[in-house]
Amino acid sequence: MDYVIEMLNITKKFGNFYANDNITLQLEKGEIHALLGENGAGKSTLMNVLFGLYQPEDGEIRVNGTKVNVTNPNVANDLGIGMVHQHFMLVENLTVTENIILGNEPKKMGIVNIKDAAKDVEEISKLYGLNVDPYAKIEDISVGMQQRVEILKTLYRGANILIFDEPTASLTPQEIQELISIMKKLITEGKSIILITHKLQEIMDVSDRVTVIRKGKGIGTVVTAETNPEELATLMVGRQVTFKTEKGPSYPKEEVLHIENLVVTDNRGIEKVKGLNLSVRRGEIVGLAGIDGNGQTELIEAITGLRKSKSGSITINEIDVTGKKPREITKVGLGHIPQDRHKHGLVLEFSVGHNAALQEYYHEPYSKNGIMNYRSVSDYAQKIIKEYDVRTQGENELVRALSGGNQQKLIIGREVSRDPDFLIAALPTRGLDVGAIEFIHKRLIEQRDNGKAVFLISFELDEVMNVSDRIAVIHDGQIVDTVIPTETTEQELGLLMAGHTKSEALKAKKVGDDQNV
């Protein structure tokens, strides 16, 4: 078999830490090869070695059988390797075409030739069924579309080998389906793909083979058709993993969160939450299911005090917190795992220790009479690091250097350690691997069993179905219905989320039930 890319026995060290320890990955022509590993297992490091961003200490890279020396990303480009980054590298206020030619502009007598470039972009777009408008501005198109622009960018530069780094992390289920068909189309046109992911179902759906790495070591390569998600999970984590989160029945008690007729506007003054009513009780997890952009963000911001509500009331523990400041609300008993961990959850330039204390620094023992006690901050951070299995070199490491999963574990550790009566978990498992997801779900359920109220916001239906005791469905700024997970189906939820009525949904549920029988 011909390999388009071979990474043989790659070793990459940072100080004494082996990020990659003797890893081998061989990509066949025309295959989708998944690279599977937990957060921080070394996937990104390996790809950065391939892309010329890091130089390995040991091992060699071959392209089409010839040994190459990838000293920088330009070399990788020339070798036909293109990367579709997880965080898009696009200029928001430029058009699709302008973004694609950026840094490599075709010129006619010194003037950038946009027209021809746009034509090229359109042609490539058609060939691979990407359906991108070359003149659309990036800020006006959806996240899924933006990702296609990233794909186009690599293709425009002549890439034959495409690396997708966690491509589905920010996509809706529909967009994921479309992406999968685009990837298959790319293969039929003769491209080869490396897919970095920790989502097992995706691997089962699209890949031909899987290379698994764990804690920097290569565990092996398996043929997808000969394996199953359970085996992959075990290979990745190194132990058995449960998919269905185990939990006992819930015993809801008194109400902790009570929202009445809440109206919240977004930055442009448009109403996003329109007279919403909701309650969450002690001892239960209420899931909020809905399609992104139906008022979830504004709702959370209003509850947590980050945004003023226009009218209506919010009470926590029978205390009116409407219009209160974030710290006042926190003190009433709120914990909040924010949906954007980089924007709201962490100060990236701060150390792990500082971040651990971000909500608690202002009182004893962390500070006294205005003076910080950094020793007790360190102790507290070490406790969180240990209890929540945050993989870091220590509490003095900058949070920026941690992988996404470990950053998230730190936030969850910080919020749950405060033992709040009411915990908001907004997209708590976004971008995390199965091991971390399992861990986080367990913690949420543990909080519930300790008699706390948990409010889970998620775009992943199976997460909402698995973890919640009740599901509130939000559509267009209102709770359209509340359902019990065991008495509903994904089809019913999907229809409710799309704004259909209960009776329509019921019909669908019946069909679903019949199919299940």
Partner 1 sequence: MVPIISIILGLLVGALVMIFSGYNPVNGYIALWNGIFGDAYAIGETIRQISPYILAGLAVAFAFRTGLFNIGVEGQLMVGWFAAAYVGSAFTMPMYIHLPLSLLAAAAAGALWGLIPGLLKAKFRVHEVIVTIMMNYIALHVVNALIKTVSGGGFKTEKIQPTASLRSDFLSNLTDYSTLHYGIFIALSMVIVMWFILEKTKTGFELKSVGFNENASHYAGMNVNKNIVLSMIISGAFAGLGGAMEALGTFGNMTSRGGFTGIGFDGIAVALLGANTPLGVIFGASLFGSLKYGANNMPNAANIPLEIVSIVIALIIFFVASGYIIRVAILRMNKKKEAK
The sign one gets for the Cα dihedral 74, 80, 84, 90 is: positive
Q: How far is the CB of 347 from partner 1 (least distance, A)?
A: 5
Contact region for partner 1 (CB under 8 A) — 94-102, 343-351, 447-455, 492-500?
343-351
DSSP letter at 393? S
- Applying CB under 8 A, among 304, 408, 447, 478 the residue interacting with partner 1 is 304
- Applying CB under 8 A, among 372, 401, 461, 498 the residue interacting with partner 1 is 372
Per CB under 8 A, 343 contacts partner 1: yes
> Please, how many CA atoms are within 13 Å of residue 398, restricted to the half-sphere of its CB?
6
In the complex with partner 1, the residue whose CB is nearer, 130 or 346, is: 346
d(CA 472, CA 466): 14
Which of 137, 136, 133 is CA-nearest to residue 125?
Answer: 133
In the complex with partner 1, the residue whose CB is nearer, 2 or 349, is: 349
Size of the site for partner 1 (CB under 8 A): 26
Contact region for partner 1 (CB under 8 A) — 26-34, 92-100, 225-233, 354-362?
354-362
Which of 460, 424, 462, 459 is CA-nearest to residue 444?
Answer: 424
Per CB under 8 A, 325 contacts partner 1: yes
- Applying CB under 8 A, among 67, 308, 327, 510 the residue interacting with partner 1 is 327
Q: How far is the CB of 367 from partner 1 (least distance, A)?
A: 4
In the complex with partner 1, the residue whose CB is nearer, 329 or 480, is: 329
In the complex with partner 1, the residue whose CB is nearer, 115 or 325, is: 325
Owner of token pair 């973890």: 467
Q: Which residues pair with 84 in a beta bridge?
A: 164
Owner of token pair 């992943």: 460
DSSP letter at 307? S
- Applying CB under 8 A, among 33, 191, 199, 354 the residue interacting with partner 1 is 354
- Applying CB under 8 A, among 64, 313, 367, 491 the residue interacting with partner 1 is 367
Per CB under 8 A, 370 contacts partner 1: yes
What DSSP line would sit under 332-350, residue for residue?
A: HHEEEE-S-IIIII--TTS
Per CB under 8 A, 88 contacts partner 1: no
User: Which strand ranges, in their side-by-side order, compose the sheet holding 453-458?
Assistant: 334-337, 422-426, 453-458, 285-289, 470-475, 478-483
Contact region for partner 1 (CB under 8 A) — 26-34, 248-256, 366-374, 487-495?
366-374
Per CB under 8 A, 359 contacts partner 1: yes
- Take residue 165 and report the two structure tokens written for it: 């780094």
Contact region for partner 1 (CB under 8 A) — 32-40, 110-118, 274-282, 363-371?
363-371
- Take residue 510 and report the two structure tokens written for it: 């019946």
- Applying CB under 8 A, among 49, 76, 257, 346 the residue interacting with partner 1 is 346
Q: How far is the CB of 171 from partner 1 (least distance, A)?
A: 24
Are 268 and 247 in contact by the 8 Å Cβ rule? The answer is no
Which of 21, 44, 39, 49 is CA-nearest to residue 403?
Answer: 39
What DSSP line would sit under 69-121, residue for residue?
A: ---SHHHHHHTTEEEE-SS----TTSBHHHHHHTTS--EETTEE-HHHHHHHH
Q: How far is the CB of 401 from partner 1 (least distance, A)?
A: 15
Q: How far is the CB of 60 from partner 1 (least distance, A)?
A: 17
In the complex with partner 1, the residue whose CB is nearer, 125 or 359, is: 359
In the complex with partner 1, the residue whose CB is nearer, 59 or 326, is: 326
- Applying CB under 8 A, among 53, 94, 306, 498 the residue interacting with partner 1 is 306
Per CB under 8 A, 73 contacts partner 1: no
Per CB under 8 A, 349 contacts partner 1: yes
Q: How far is the CB of 326 from partner 1 (least distance, A)?
A: 5
Name every residue whose Cβ is closer than 8 Å to that of residue 449 and which is 6 or more positions away in sequence. 248, 283
Are 470 and 453 in contact by the 8 Å Cβ rule? The answer is no
- Applying CB under 8 A, among 361, 382, 391, 512 the residue interacting with partner 1 is 361
Per CB under 8 A, 269 contacts partner 1: no
- Applying CB under 8 A, among 85, 217, 258, 344 the residue interacting with partner 1 is 344
Per CB under 8 A, 347 contacts partner 1: yes
Name every residue whose Cβ is closer than 8 Å to that of residue 385 and which is 6 or more positions away in sequence. 352, 356, 392, 394, 395, 410, 413
Are 100 and 153 in contact by the 8 Å Cβ rule? The answer is yes
d(CA 58, CA 99): 36
Per CB under 8 A, 371 contacts partner 1: yes
Q: How far is the CB of 361 from partner 1 (least distance, A)?
A: 5
Q: At what angle do helices 326-333 and 296-304 cross, to 10 degrees?
A: 80
- Applying CB under 8 A, among 127, 362, 394, 511 the residue interacting with partner 1 is 362
Question: Which residues contribute to the site for partner 1 (CB under 8 A)?
Answer: 304, 306, 325-327, 330, 336, 338, 343-350, 354, 357-359, 361-362, 367, 370-372
